[in-house]
């Protein structure tokens, strides 16, 4: 088998970002998962989800983080599995997770009750379906997914873990070529402090105000598309707070990285409006008030748009 090409980012990753424990083991697990599902005729999507944490000290007390809840990634994972995909879910530790995401704001103890009433001594506990009205549907689907081994969850917390695990995933999925999709919904830090410049111990406030100088994180999309998984169908996301620059930035990303699509969204409207931009097309996806009443989520539309595009891509690539 041809050896994957080395990029200049490979060297930087190795030198400046600590390699997480067990990365080779996790890579083998991902490769086995992808191989198994591709042999069964399934496509495999790698979803990244949640924000990355950037430490300020090597014995970390403080870190920089961002707003991402992981909702986009977790709900998209469900719709991909409903569409017949197997999912590698590379997500931030404790961010939203497929199927449990609907219940993340509920106090577990409010959702349970004694079967014989509050004064009963039976000790048998049952679910209070008034607090968790959709629990049976979610549990059923969760168990089907588990039985079919359709979901492989992998966790990261820090930026370094994210970068190394994404590289490992890309290399693991390269064997299934165009049947692999990358859906890069995680909110990845653009800035970091290299290990060589990071103080070991807690930064002391007695030293006065803190001035930070941070390096640019290498754009990982570039080696992913060019070197690590060159035959895969790759979707990046573009988040802005200023809607007037969004589409231009999305197009510039497509020009720079030469991947297949960008899902463009604005922070405040991201649950109700996105634009899927490809080199030839631009599709606005909108959730109306009526959709909200019917519990339609925008991720269902994003996934439907992208699975169709992936179909075409596979056909063009010759299967």
Tokens linked to 267: 């922070």
Give residues 171-210 in contact with ligand PMT (rule: CB under 6 A): 184-188, 190
Q: How many residues bind ligand PMT (CB under 6 A)?
A: 21
The site string for ligand PMT over 69-108 (x = CB under 6 A, - otherwise) reads: xxxx------------------------------------
**Integer CA distances (angstroms), 116 to 119, 127, 149, 227, 309, in order:** 8, 12, 36, 61, 53
Check binding of 68 to ligand PMT (CB under 6 A): yes
Q: How far is the CB of 228 from ligand PMT (least distance, A)?
A: 12
Taking the least distance from each CB to ligand PMT, the nearer of 162 and 313 is 162
Token pair recorded at residue 212: 């930070």
Position 217 contacts ligand PMT (CB under 6 A):
yes
- We find the least distance from the C-beta atom of residue 150 to ligand PMT, in angstroms, to be 21
Strand 63-64 to 233-240 pairing: unpaired
Q: Give the Å distances, CA to CA, from 62 to 17, 51, 135, 195.
A: 17, 16, 37, 15
Interface map 222-261 toward ligand PMT (x if CB under 6 A): --------------xxxx----------------------
Binding part of the chain for ligand PMT, among 63-71, 193-201, 207-215, 306-314 by CB under 6 A, reads 63-71
Residue with tokens 């200049």: 8
Q: Is 265 in the site for ligand PMT (CB under 6 A)?
A: yes
Cross-strand pairs, 187: 51
Please name which of 268, 260, 266, 271 lies closest in space to residue 301, comparing C-alpha atoms.
271
Contacts of 33 by beta carbon, 8 Å cutoff, 6+ apart: 44, 86, 88, 149, 152
Closer of 159 and 172 to ligand PMT (Cβ): 159
User: Which residues here bind ligand PMT, judged by CB under 6 A?
Assistant: 68-72, 184-188, 190, 217, 219-221, 236-239, 265, 270
């Amino acid at each position: 088998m041809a050896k994957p090409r080395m990029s200049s980012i490979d060297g930087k990753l190795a030198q400046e970002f600590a390699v997480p424990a067990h990365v080779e083991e996790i890579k083998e697990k991902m490769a086995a998962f992808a191989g198994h599902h591709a042999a069964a005729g399934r496509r495999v999507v790698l979803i990244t989800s949640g924000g990355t944490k950037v430490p300020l000290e090597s014995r970390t007390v403080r870190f920089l983080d961002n707003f991402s809840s992981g909702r986009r990634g977790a709900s998209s994972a469900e719709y991909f599995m409903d569409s017949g995909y197997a999912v590698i879910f590379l997500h931030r530790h404790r961010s939203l997770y497929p199927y449990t995401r609907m219940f993340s704001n509920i106090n577990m103890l409010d959702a349970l009750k004694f079967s014989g009433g509050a004064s009963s001594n039976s000790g048998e506990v049952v679910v209070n379906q008034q607090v968790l009205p959709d629990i049976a549907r979610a549990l059923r689907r969760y168990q089907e997914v588990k039985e079919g081994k359709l979901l492989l969850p992998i966790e990261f917390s820090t930026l370094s873990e994210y970068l190394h695990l994404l590289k490992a995933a890309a290399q693991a999925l390269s064997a299934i070529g165009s049947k692999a999709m990358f859906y890069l919904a995680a909110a990845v830090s653009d800035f970091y402090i290299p290990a060589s410049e990071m103080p070991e111990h807690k930064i002391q406030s007695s030293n006065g105000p803190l001035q930070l100088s941070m390096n640019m994180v290498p754009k990982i999309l570039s080696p992913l598309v060019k070197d690590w998984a060159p035959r895969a169908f790759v979707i990046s996301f573009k988040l802005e707070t200023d809607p007037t620059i969004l589409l231009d930035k999305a197009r510039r990303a497509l020009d720079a990285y030469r991947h297949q699509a960008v899902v463009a969204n604005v922070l405040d409207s991201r649950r109700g409006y996105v634009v899927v931009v490809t080199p030839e097309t631009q599709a606005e996806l909108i959730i109306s008030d009526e959709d909200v009443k019917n519990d339609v989520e925008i991720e269902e539309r994003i996934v439907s748009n992208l699975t169709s595009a992936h179909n075409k891509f596979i056909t063009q690539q010759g299967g």
